[in-house]
């Protein structure tokens, strides 16, 4: 890693591992400024916040995708009777909402 990559990273061109690596590099830069008792440049905090936001977003997207996949698999394993019972329960809820409206 180098400082220009850290300053000008493009999240679209990097995978999560590269973003994590770049974040670690940024933290090392921050720690070195602290160790040398120098004022940290503004871009360090901005880039670290941006990296962390992007990493959290991508991890959340992966978790949501996995959740959808698992839900679909569970639904595919249900028997027709279970599916019918769920649909009947949903229908009763809708009918109750319509009668109270």
Interval 56-101: pLDDT, tens: 999 999 999 999 999 999 999 999 999 999 999 999 999 999 998 7
Residue 93's pLDDT is 95
Largest CA distance in the chain: 71
Burial class (CB in 10 A: 0-12, 13-18, 19+), 38: exposed
Look at residue 101 in the predicted model and tell me its pLDDT: 72
Range(s) of the domain holding residue 91: 3-100
**pLDDT tens digits, one per residue of 3-58:** 999 999 999 999 999 999 999 999 999 999 999 999 999 999 999 999 999 999 99
pLDDT of residue 35: 97
Angle between helices 42-77 and 16-35 (to 10 degrees): 150
Q: How many domains does the chain have?
A: 1
């Amino acid at each position: 890693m180098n400082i220009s990559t850290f300053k000008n990273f493009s999240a679209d061109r990097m995978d999560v591992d590269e973003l994590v690596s770049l974040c670690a590099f940024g933290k090392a830069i921050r720690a070195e400024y602290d160790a040398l008792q120098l004022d940290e440049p503004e871009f360090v905090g901005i880039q670290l916040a941006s990296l962390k936001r992007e990493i959290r977003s991508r991890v959340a997207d992966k978790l949501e995708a996995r959740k959808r996949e698992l839900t679909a698999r569970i639904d595919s394993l249900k028997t027709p009777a279970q599916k019918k019972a769920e649909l009947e329960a949903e229908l009763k809820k809708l009918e109750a909402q319509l009668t109270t409206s």
